[in-house]
Structure 1
Amino acid sequence: MEQGSCALWGRDPALRGAGIPCSMGQGSRSPWGRGPVLHGARVPCSVGWGCCAPWGGDPVHHGAGACQALPAPPRAFHHDRQSQLCQLLPWTQHSPHVQLQKNTHYDLYQKKDYLQECIAAEGASYRGTRAVTEKGIPCQHWQATTPHDHRFLPSPRNGLEENYCRNPDRDKRGPWCYTMDPDVRHQSCGIKKCEDAVCMSCNGEDYRGFVDRTESGAECQRWDLQHPHNWGQGAVCPGERRYGLVGAERRALGHPCGAPAHAHPAADAVAFEQCGRRDERLQRKGRIVGGQPGNSPWTVSIRNRAGVHFCGGSLVKEQWVISTRQCFSSCDADLSGYEVQLGTLFKDPGPEDPDKQAIPIVRIVCGPSESHLVLLKLARPAVLNKRVALICLPPERYVVPAQTVCEIAGWGETGGTADGSVLNVAQLPVLSNEECNAALRGRVKESELCTAPLRVGVGACEGDYGGPLACFTHDCWVLEGVITPSRVCARTDQPALFIRTSLYVDWIHKVMKMI
């Protein structure tokens, strides 16, 4: 699937989307990709499970309790995240008379065959828009019989539309077309195979392209799924490892996370290029309630106009901090004069502190209402170094295994248990939601994550809110939770609740990309 946060609006009134109740099975493999959105009749649906329409066969929609055939196979559907409505659509963002508009409230799923400009195998499934041959001759429309008469006439289901290159006879040379040159009947379009359309350096550890098939043509499994192959990995550091999944085979292609690639001149040059890394030599002993002073280079101090610390946050991109909604009066709060401070261990660093970075906040973006998250855009990118680093985001909907020991960090109240003038760090073991529900009498939501209570009284308090619950996974620190306000600090008889970040990773990426 290919995904984005946009809407595709059909300018031609003849272009209409057919609405369906959708339900896409979790873990299902699909030729669809998330992307922009298109509009037509809308009906309730639930995106995230396998669609009631058989994508590989005749499309259907529900009407009067029965399934009815649609006039043409769907090429896309879009999902309105607010109203939970979606619809099948017979066009994509590349179709005539269609306009693409960005919109954070929509997800568009489009068939990859209609978006890719390279081919797999002989390209029989290619549905791109190339319309000239490899020699530059314009292609003849498939419905036309001049200048060349032919037998490959278009139908709603064979993909022979406009004058686009196609391969209806599975020619080994790939997609071709009849040409507009009376002296040249047909010619190959010279479309590259996907594996030849990209280039890599070294072992490909820095590759960020879109090839999604192995050398043998097998479709790759999504990284955020454990089906059909349960590969046992959770959050994976950028560049850590990549697998080509062919049958039961797994082949590692990259370096361990953080190992210097041959393309880099020295290890120092890459030590802090990736998220979730810190210099453990800076870790010290000391305390949050029951905590110890330590090094958390992605934890930021959010300050009001008077320069007073009031909440924490986590640096997820050089110009973006994530925190909690409860730290701010509203989603339209005037934050002029507010700033974040990074790179210092001190709650009130002096002006001579060489590591301190103070950056104004220029925008606040509230997340979905149930998330209680906010993203803060900074006036300029933070400078990454040994004291300022990004924390990794987890895979979408990732669940942290129970008993994973994670860290909270902040400059909040310590209740006299620690030095309140420095950044304090404490460790807490993750509790499964089943165990947490038993302890809290079923009050835990899917959007929440629990840590077990400790008899010594360790936990977050006022001033820590918005800060990270960071878990060390596959050699990376990952932002699995965000600290939220609680009635009592560091309770010894009840689990602590955090916002589960993985449920909102898609929203986080969209906001950072679009704003």
Structure 2
Amino acid sequence: MIPLFFLTVLLLWPDTVHAFRSALNDFQRSEGRELVLKSWNVNRLTEFPGITLEDCAKRCTESPECRAFNYEFRPSLVCKHLPLVGDNADVKRNVNCDLYEMKVYVRKCIVGKGEDYRGKVSTTKSGRTCQQWWSKFPHDHRWTPSATNGLELNYCRNPDGDRIGPWCYTTDPEPRYESCDIPQCKDEVCITCNGEDYRGQVDHTVSGKECQRWDQQYPHQHIYQPEKYPDKSLDDNYCRNPDASPVPWCYTTDPTLERERCDIRKCPESPKHHSHSGYTTDCFQGRGEDYRGKVNETSSGIPCQRWDAQKPHEHPFSPKTYECKGLEQNYCRNPDGSEAPWCFTSLSGMRTALCLQIKRCADDIEAEDCYNEIGKNYRGVVRKTRKGILCQKWSVSTPHKTKINSKTHPEANLTDNYCRNPDGDRHGPWCYTTDRKTEFDYCAIKQ
């Protein structure tokens, strides 16, 4: 017979596991953005003053009318539920607000069978136009659109959980229905090398565990907070590789499993055979991750251990596992994003050491730069954001259409692609970026 105490634990355990799931896991965050409804649609906005971000997300997921929300945190907390996502309205910069959109309405890929897919694909894999779900012609069927089942217009859906994924009835006499061939999120974006540059939307691990959000500390506490690692794109709860692991991974929402790798396909052709214009051999830039010189001893003259050897020190940095890190022979390298090139030493009593005798490249040494107050009069030449993204020129409108330029702000000295603060943003100088997924970002300049 099972003791009453253990029976109680067993009965409560499933609820304990699921209690750590955040409602925010269903949303994709856009920092410093606000979705603005058209005047004829503004009466569909619902406001909830003073509630928490988590509660705002939870209420949105429970409402059939809510697909996104603006969360204002200055001058006071206001949750604003919205009936649509960004592709149907204007999205504007607002440093006092973050926009959260339901993933199922904005992503272009599916998870599993795609039963929750709410995208706008309306043609089948062979190019046939989909029949409207409310129509019974040319094909009669049993489905009736409602506020909760997502059967809108003639968009591809999977109301019956078919293994073929989202599908639709066609407007042709034959075939009656057909798959829409929407890609799996795990296959939509492939990874090269160890996937440190992966920016796809997989949010489950290889065993099917849902990922924990990077900006949350439960159920697992961790150091990889997005604001501390802006160059790692630790967005929402998507799989990433901030620590130079063999493949992208995430913390899980399961309290019993801290982290696990994600199932993302490798790109068919490895880039290791291609030349890399950023490699250096006589000096290093940044942290020296692209250094490919032949220095093979530490700054104190101790010979380095070969990367393909496990003596005198066992380690995970096998050249086969880290094929793009240049782990040749016993040359100093930086496979894990340390502060500079390093190596395992040939002395059993000294595991690792930096190769500090390698000089930093001259063009990588920037003059000290700073700004006063909020930087509205900053006229320096920094042209990269805090995430390391190159700034877009103020005079062009690609990849982002600029609403602020030399014509709208002629006094702001918007020259070339230098960081500026033409609109008096309280966070300091910023710029539009050359990354299509990041409209703008603040610059790494000291105040």
State the TM-score, normalized to the length of structure 1: 0.47
> How far apart are residue 81 of structure 1 and its match?
4.4
Pick aligned residue for 1:135 from 126, 131, 156: 126
- Tell me the residue number matched to 2:236: none
- Tell me the residue number matched to 1:511: 442
Q: Structure 2: how far apart are the matches of 1:263 and 1:152?
A: 51
- Tell me the residue number matched to 2:249: 243
Root mean square deviation, CA, Å:
4.5
Q: Structure 2: how far apart are the matches of 1:162 and 1:512?
A: 43
The answer to whether the Cα contact below 8 Å between 1:175 and 1:189 also exists between their aligned partners in 2 is yes
- Tell me the residue number matched to 1:51: 56
Alignment of 1:415-430 (within 5 A): none
Cα separation, partners in 2 of 1:128 and 1:245, compared to 1, 3 Å: same
- Tell me the residue number matched to 2:46: 19
Moved more, 99-108 or 130-139: 99-108
The answer to whether the Cα contact below 8 Å between 1:165 and 1:177 also exists between their aligned partners in 2 is yes
SS in 2 for 1:94: helix
Alignment of 1:58-73 (within 5 A): 59=63, 72-73=64-65
Q: Structure 1: how far apart are the matches of 2:39 and 2:142?
A: 30
> Per-residue displacement from partner, 1:399-433 (whole Å, max 9, x unpaired)?
xxxxxxxxxxxxxxxxxxxxxxxxxxxxxxxxxxx
Greater helix percent: which structure? 2
- Tell me the residue number matched to 1:8: 35
Pick aligned residue for 1:191 from 177, 182, 188: 182
Q: Structure 1: how far apart are the matches of 2:94 and 2:173?
A: 46
Cα separation, partners in 2 of 1:251 and 1:99, compared to 1, 3 Å: closer
> How far apart are residue 90 of structure 1 and its match?
1.3
Cα separation, partners in 2 of 1:298 and 1:212, compared to 1, 3 Å: farther
- Given the alignment of the two structures, is residue 332 of structure 1 paired with residue 376 of structure 2, yes or no? yes
Flag structure 1 segments of 5+ consecutive residues without an equivalent: 22-43, 60-71, 284-296, 303-312, 314-322, 341-359, 381-506
Pick aligned residue for 1:180 from 171, 178, 181: 171
The answer to whether the Cα contact below 8 Å between 2:68 and 2:102 also exists between their aligned partners in 1 is yes
Counterpart amino acid of 2:40? Answer: P
Flag structure 2 segments of 5+ consecutive residues without an equivalent: 1-26, 233-241, 265-287, 290-316, 342-353, 358-362, 383-415
- Tell me the residue number matched to 2:90: 99
The answer to whether the Cα contact below 8 Å between 2:206 and 2:261 also exists between their aligned partners in 1 is no
> Per-residue displacement from partner, 1:157-194 (whole Å, max 9, x unpaired)?
21111111111111121111111112322111112222
Alignment of 1:220-235 (within 5 A): 220-231=211-222
Q: Structure 2: how far apart are the matches of 1:150 and 1:111?
A: 29
Alignment of 1:306-385 (within 5 A): 323=370, 327-328=371-372, 331-333=375-377, 335=379, 338=380, 362-365=418-421, 369=426, 374-375=428-429
> How far apart are residue 78 of structure 1 and its match?
1.0
Pick aligned residue for 1:79 from 65, 71, 79: 71
SS in 1 for 2:205: coil
Cα separation, partners in 2 of 1:508 and 1:188, compared to 1, 3 Å: closer
The answer to whether the Cα contact below 8 Å between 1:142 and 1:154 also exists between their aligned partners in 2 is yes
The answer to whether the Cα contact below 8 Å between 1:179 and 1:187 also exists between their aligned partners in 2 is yes
- Tell me the residue number matched to 1:449: none
- Tell me the residue number matched to 2:13: none
> How far apart are residue 330 of structure 1 and its match?
6.0
Q: Structure 2: how far apart are the matches of 1:93 and 1:53?
A: 20
The answer to whether the Cα contact below 8 Å between 1:47 and 1:79 also exists between their aligned partners in 2 is no
State the TM-score, normalized to the length of structure 2: 0.53
SS in 2 for 1:51: helix
> How far apart are residue 125 of structure 1 and its match?
0.7
Q: Structure 2: how far apart are the matches of 1:13 and 1:212?
A: 36
Q: Structure 2: how far apart are the matches of 1:190 and 1:154?
A: 22
Counterpart amino acid of 2:47? Answer: I
Pick aligned residue for 1:162 from 153, 174, 177: 153
- Higher relative contact order, structure no. (Cα contacts within 8 Å, ≥ 6 residues apart): 1
SS in 2 for 1:251: strand
SS in 2 for 1:195: helix
The answer to whether the Cα contact below 8 Å between 2:205 and 2:260 also exists between their aligned partners in 1 is no
